[in-house]
Amino acid sequence: MRLSYLLLGPSAFALLAGAIGCGISLLCLGSSARVDVEAGRIGLVGATVLLFIGGMLLCAAFAMTEERGLVLPTFVRWILVAALMVLPTAFLYGPLAGFHHHIGFGPMPFFYMVWNAEDPAPGSFQIIKGYEVWFDPLVFLGLLVVWMMILYGAIHWVRPVREQQQLAR
């Protein structure tokens, strides 16, 4: 398999995540709450970076291959894989629970990260000012293994590289 086709998967994921991130961030920017606007600014920067990286990877894939007719259908199938992964990603890594001034990320009760705004410790790690971040790397790795198994199933179902495998034979 050519390197150019390997670039299409990360490109599809980055472009879809960047597009969704831009939409959500723009919604946050329209909020009247200061914290939402700050989160929207951070999200918009991250989404813009993802769109740039995804676009560069897609351009590189087109530039590196001589079989340009196969790039677009393969990219569309990778976009389908990325779209299938939106809900599992949101469920496994999104902010799914909150109580008072705490926001939990990950499926309840297996939070890999909690933002504490009740009484953040002075000098603590804060992504957004006023929210202390608690992170559990073991839970995060466990959720990553589950996510990768779901990704494997989505790739196996959609088979985004099937044409290239036939050409390589």
pLDDT of residue 154: 95
Residues 6+ apart with CB under 8 A from 7: 57, 58, 60, 61, 64
Residue 81 neighbours by CB under 8 Å, 6+ apart: 9, 12, 151, 154, 155, 158, 160
Residues 6+ apart with CB under 8 A from 64: 2, 3, 4, 7
pTM: 0.80
Q: What does the pLDDT look like over 25-67, one tens digit per residue?
A: 999 999 998 888 988 999 999 999 999 999 999 999 999 888 8
Contact 31, 67 (CB under 8 A): no
Say which amino acid occupies 158: V
Summarised one tens digit per residue, pLDDT across range 8-23 is 999 999 999 999 999 9
pLDDT band at 165 (very low <50, low <70, confident <90, very high): very low
pLDDT confidence bin for 71, thresholds 50/70/90: confident
CB-side neighbour CA atoms (13 Å) of 74: 25
Classify residue 63 as exposed, middle or buried by CB count within 10 Å of its CB (0-12, 13-18, 19+): exposed
Let me know: does 29 contact 41? Beta carbons within 8 Å: yes
